[in-house]
């Protein structure tokens, strides 16, 4: 494992501003680039839920064999030790890769701060099983041998309208999805082991996610909890009631915080029309509660409740209720004694919209730390980048299309291109002269149509010529495509597309252990690694 490059964030980008004492820090509690922030946060008092929360997590995790490190961390949680926490929706077979990087970030930061602070900090991962947007998690991507991207989707017979934690795999559909995934992998000595892992998956959607994460990271003492777990929801009952009772004040605080954040970064992350900021599961649908004229409405069912009815239902059946994006971070912080929250760039932004919500609740926002961004490369990709004179910085700033076009232009016959341009210019001049003649409007329209026809013909000629060049230099264009799709797919980060099991299949099951061991300290810059 080798660190090839650490890329600094573009000047003026949000993460660059956030980690360099910019004014955006006014919407957060702590400066994450300052070590003193961690020491200061350690003095924040515990919330009193430690014993009950540790029991909930123990019961939740005990469906799988717990490692000694996990059992020790459950005891530490009970004793009030601080946690580093982050979360994610439960994707198909975990995907995408940045979910793994978020977990690696949690583990590395907890390990680093344990040493610096002289106490055990616990890594915790929050599975967003309450989420019902199945379209965001029901697919994965696989890279073919020539780095083309193949999308594979798990199909259900019925539409998923409730929390994904209520969903069980349809076994025939699961088998088909696994077969599709495995058949698209390049077969290696690890492929059968990857297939065996997938064939052992529990039937519940979030359980399958937990099982893979648990298998990969249990030796690091990683604790997991599903936000939709019924026992956890029982523990949250009083907090949910408080949130419901104060939803008007929470909404005002959110709108105020969002406007302040908007004045700093000129964009809004949280887009919601609700003013209650809680979901309710009703008639098999997870629905945002909306307050209108003192009544509480479920829009998908046209059902209306009074405030007293909703309040009573929260107390009697808290598992039917869940947080939305505005109240979820607050709930997380009211349950856990948090040193730091790990989030992606968008999460960091929307936490900045919630400072006033935290202030209203009299809860201090923890350190909000950008997750580590990691891209993997290999010797062939590096060699091809050198051959085409492409740097990592320029690739992420310009995209591979810039270099493909540059290479195409370098292979064109300049005399042909010049002659085509000259011919077009000559035609334009002649047609302009004809338009000045004493002719009818209909003839002028025919002239314009005829000129456009010539434009289309020259455009067709140019495209066919480019296709001929791409065939002639097919190997080079494939290499350029591989660079783009591997490192910068769809002009984005590799970790947003690549599936973690593909890396395991290519290298070995300990590939992420190597990453953790190699990252001796927490890195805020985008890191390029060569396994």
Please write the tens of the pLDDT for every residue from 152-179: 999 998 888 999 999 999 999 999 999 9
Asked whether the predicted pLDDT for residue 291 surpasses 90, the reply is: yes
Asked whether the predicted pLDDT for residue 47 surpasses 90, the reply is: yes
Asked whether the predicted pLDDT for residue 520 surpasses 90, the reply is: no
Region 92-107: mean pLDDT is 97
Please list, in sequence order, all residues whose beta carbon lies within 8 angstroms of the beta carbon of residue 5, skipping any fewer than 6 positions away: 392, 527, 528
Split at pLDDT 50, 70, 90, the class of 145 is confident
* Cα(447)–Cα(355) distance, integer angstroms: 64
Asked whether the predicted pLDDT for residue 132 surpasses 90, the reply is: no
Split at pLDDT 50, 70, 90, the class of 209 is very high
Burial (0-12, 13-18, 19+ Cβ within 10 Å), 55: middle
User: Is pTM beyond 0.75 here?
Assistant: yes
Coil/strand/helix, residue 472: helix
C-alpha pair distances (Å), 77 with each of 126, 221, 327: 15, 11, 23
Give the tokens for residue 424: 């077009």
Among 127, 17, 88, 28, residue whose Cα is nearest residue 368? 28
Region 453-461: mean pLDDT is 93
The long-range contacts involving 194-199, CB below 8 angstroms and separated by at least 24 positions, are 194/501, 194/504, 194/505, 197/501, 198/93, 198/501
Split at pLDDT 50, 70, 90, the class of 367 is very high
Backbone φ and ψ of 291, nearest 5°: -100, 125
Which tens digit of pLDDT belongs to each residue from 403-428? 999 999 999 999 999 999 999 999 99
Region 49-58: mean pLDDT is 97
User: What percentage of the chain carries pLDDT values higher than 90?
Assistant: 94
Beta bridge partners of 139: 153
Give the tokens for residue 160: 């998923």
Minimum mean pLDDT among 118-122, 434-438, 511-515, 527-531: which range? 434-438
Among 105, 321, 298, 311, residue whose Cα is nearest residue 228? 321
Element (H, E) at 122: strand 122-127
Region 272-290: mean pLDDT is 93
| pLDDT at site 73 | 98
**Burial 95-133, CB ≥16 within 10 A → b, else e:** bbbbbbbbbbbbbbbbbbbbeebeebbbbbbbbbbbbbe
* Cα(107)–Cα(2) distance, integer angstroms: 19
Among 74, 101, 209, 135, residue whose Cα is nearest residue 500? 101
| pLDDT at site 147 | 77
Asked whether the predicted pLDDT for residue 146 surpasses 80, the reply is: no
Minimum mean pLDDT among 26-35, 40-49, 140-149, 151-160: which range? 140-149
Look-up of token digits 């700033």 = 397
Q: Give me the sign of the Cα torsion angle 311, 245, 248, 347.
A: negative
Backbone φ and ψ of 298, nearest 5°: -105, 105
Region 338-354: mean pLDDT is 97
Which tens digit of pLDDT belongs to each residue from 1-23? 999 999 999 999 999 999 998 99
Within 10 angstroms of residue 328's Cβ, the number of other Cβ atoms is 19
| pLDDT at site 2 | 94
| pLDDT at site 144 | 80
* Cα(475)–Cα(25) distance, integer angstroms: 48
* Cα(10)–Cα(393) distance, integer angstroms: 9
* Cα(434)–Cα(415) distance, integer angstroms: 28
Beta bridge partners of 321: 280
Average of per-residue pLDDT values in the chain = 95
Region 492-503: mean pLDDT is 95
Which tens digit of pLDDT belongs to each residue from 373-384? 999 999 999 999
CA torsion angle 406 408 411 415 (round to 10): -90
User: Where do runs of H (alpha helix) occur along 318-413?
Assistant: 328-335, 345-352, 355-361, 379-387, 392-398, 400-411
């Amino acid at each position: 494992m080798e660190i090839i490059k650490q890329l600094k964030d573009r000047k003026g980008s949000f993460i660059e501003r956030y980690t360099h004492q910019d004014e955006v820090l006014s919407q957060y509690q702590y400066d994450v680039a300052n070590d003193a922030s961690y020491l200061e946060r350690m003095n924040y008092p515990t919330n009193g839920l430690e014993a009950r929360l540790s029991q909930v997590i123990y019961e939740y995790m005990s469906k799988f064999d717990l490692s000694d490190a996990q059992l020790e961390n459950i005891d530490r949680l009970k004793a009030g030790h601080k946690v580093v926490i982050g979360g994610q929706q439960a994707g198909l077979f975990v995907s995408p890769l940045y979910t793994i990087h978020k977990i690696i970030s949690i583990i590395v930061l907890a390990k680093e701060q344990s040493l610096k602070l002289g106490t055990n900090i616990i890594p915790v991962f929050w599975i967003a099983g309450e989420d019902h947007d199945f379209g965001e998690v029901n697919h994965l991507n696989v890279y073919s041998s020539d780095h083309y991207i193949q999308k594979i989707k798990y199909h259900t017979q019925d539409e998923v309208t409730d929390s994904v934690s209520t969903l069980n795999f349809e076994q025939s559909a699961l088998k088909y999805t696994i077969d599709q995934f495995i058949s698209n992998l390049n077969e290696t000595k690890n492929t059968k082991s990857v297939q065996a892992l997938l064939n052992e998956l529990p039937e519940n959607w979030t359980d399958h996610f937990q099982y893979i994460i648990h298998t990969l990271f249990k030796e690091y003492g990683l604790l997991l909890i599903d936000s939709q777990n019924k026992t956890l929801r029982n523990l949250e009952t009083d907090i949910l009631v408080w949130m419901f009772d104060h939803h008007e004040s929470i909404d005002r605080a959110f709108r105020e915080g969002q406007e302040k954040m908007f004045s700093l970064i000129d964009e809004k992350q949280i887009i919601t029309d609700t003013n209650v900021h809680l979901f309710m599961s009703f008639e098999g649908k997870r629905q945002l509660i909306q307050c209108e004229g003192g009544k509480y409405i479920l829009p998908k069912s046209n059902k209306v409740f009074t405030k007293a009815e909703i309040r009573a239902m929260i107390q009697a059946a808290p598992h039917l209720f869940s947080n939305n994006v505005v109240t979820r971070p607050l709930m997380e912080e009211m349950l856990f004694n948090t040193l730091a929250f790990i989030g992606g760039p968008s999460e960091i932004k929307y936490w900045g919209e919630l400072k006033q919500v935290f202030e209203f609740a009299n809860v201090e926002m923890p350190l909000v730390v950008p997750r580590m961004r990691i891209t993997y490369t290999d010797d062939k990709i590096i060699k091809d980048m050198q051959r085409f004179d492409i740097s990592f910085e320029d690739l992420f700033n310009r995209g591979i299309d810039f270099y493909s076009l540059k290479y195409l232009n370098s292979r064109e016959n300049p005399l042909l291109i010049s002659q085509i341009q000259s011919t077009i210019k000559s035609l334009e001049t002649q047609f302009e002269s004809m338009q000045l003649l004493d002719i009818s409007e209909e003839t002028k329209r025919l002239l314009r149509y005829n000129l456009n026809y010539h434009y289309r013909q020259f455009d067709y000629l140019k495209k066919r010529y480019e296709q001929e060049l791409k065939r002639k230099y097919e190997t080079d264009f494939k290499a350029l495509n591989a660079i783009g799709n591997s490192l910068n797919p769809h002009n984005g980060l590799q970790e947003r597309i690549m599936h973690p099991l593909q890396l395991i299949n290519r290298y070995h099951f300990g590939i992420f252990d190597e990453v953790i061991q190699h990252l001796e300290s927490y890195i805020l810059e985008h890191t390029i690694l060569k396994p």
